[in-house]
Amino acid sequence: MTGVIPREVLRRPKRGFEIPLHSWSNPRFQEFARDVLTERAVREGGCFRWREVERLVEGFEGRVPPASLGVSRYQLNLRFWALLVFQHWTASWLKVRSAPGAVPA
C-alpha cells in the first residue's frame, strides 16, 4: 500500500473504530438516517420489527428517554449505530443482488 496510503497512516499504532458521535447533530446525517430507517426499508429488509426500530429512533432523537427503552444513552447510541449500519448494508446488498445481470450466490 506504499504510495497509496500516506506513510504516517501506515506507521501509526492500531486504533479502534469510533462511532462518529460528532456527526449525529448534523442535519445531513439525520436526513441520511431517516432515509435508511424508513418503515418500508425496515419491513423489506425483514430482519427487524418496525415498531422496535421506531422506538429506538424515537429514543435516539430524544423523543423518549433511553430509560423507557431499558437502556442507557450510551447503549442506545451503540444500538442505533449498529442498526443504521446494518440496515444500510442490507439495503445496499439487496439492491446489488436484485440488479439485472446479477450473478447468483
Domain ranges of the chain: 24-94
Between the alpha carbon of residue 82 and those of residues 12, 28, 29, 94, 102, the distances in Å are 27, 19, 15, 18, 27
This model's pTM is above 0.75: no
pLDDT tens over the chain, length 105 residues: 677 888 888 888 888 777 777 777 788 988 999 999 999 999 988 899 999 999 999 998 889 999 999 999 999 999 999 999 999 998 888 765 555 665 555
Separation between Cα atoms, residue 77 and residue 101, nearest integer Å: 38
pLDDT value at residue 104: 55
